[in-house]
């Protein structure tokens, strides 16, 4: 259901842009800012598996933060226990959202499954000077496939 709504949004936004084209000469940068960014990730952060993430999490190190990069409704439906939600695509300024986080700590970043959102978020964190960012490439799907526990609201 949510996937269809996302596609509808893109279709409606595209149609609206096409309809406004004659009126917006020279304003495309402003209009395109409202469409989702599909730039491929650079893979700046090391990629880890769900098993590697679980091993790190099981150490219960207070310097490790598990960051769920999915949308809030996805986070509330199911997540890794103890994770924090910081939605990449919901934020108007992701850099500002990251400002309160300690750049010297370890971050395990995950999304859905092989999700470029989490890879892009990991990249951005590395670019901003976060010292130890790990991208859990298989996301929550791999986590569940391994039989690891999740929680929900």
Tell me: pLDDT of 6 over 70.
no
Short-list 104, 119, 98, 147, CA closest to 48: 119
Q: Give me Rg for the CA atoms of the chain.
A: 17
Query: pLDDT digits over 63-93, tens only?
Result: 999 999 999 999 999 999 999 999 988 888 8
CA–chain centroid gap for 61, Å, is 23
Q: Is 129 exposed, middle or buried (0-12, 13-18, 19+ CB in 10 A)?
A: exposed
**pLDDT tens profile 7-42:** 666 666 566 555 555 544 444 444 344 445 566 778
For the chain, give the percent of residues with pLDDT over 70.
75
Q: Which two tokens stand for residue 81?
A: 């226990």
pLDDT in tens, 42-52: 888 999 999 99
In angstroms, the CA 80 to CA 102 distance is 21
Domain 47-145: CATH architecture, name and number where available: 3-Layer(aba) Sandwich (3.40)
- Mean pLDDT score across all residues of the chain: 84
Kindly report the pTM of this predicted structure: 0.74
Please write the tens of the pLDDT for every residue from 104-153. Answer: 999 999 999 877 889 999 999 999 999 999 999 899 999 999 999 999 98
């Amino acid at each position: 259901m949510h996937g269809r709504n996302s596609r509808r949004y893109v279709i409606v936004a595209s149609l609206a842009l096409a309809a406004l084209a004659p009126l917006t000469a020279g304003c495309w940068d402003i209009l395109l800012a409202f469409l989702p960014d599909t730039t491929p990730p650079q893979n700046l952060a090391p990629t880890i598996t769900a098993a590697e993430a679980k091993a790190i999490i099981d150490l219960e190190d207070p310097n490790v933060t598990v960051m769920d990069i999915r949308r809030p409704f996805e986070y509330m439906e199911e997540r890794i226990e103890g994770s924090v939600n910081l939605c990449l695509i919901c934020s108007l300024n992701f850099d500002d959202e990251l400002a309160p986080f300690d750049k010297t700590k370890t971050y395990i970043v995950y999304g859905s499954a092989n999700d470029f959102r989490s890879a892009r978020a990991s990249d951005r964190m590395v670019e901003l000077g976060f010292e130890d960012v790990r991208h859990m490439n298989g996301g929550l799907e791999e986590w569940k496939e391994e039989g690891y526990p999740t929680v929900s609201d």
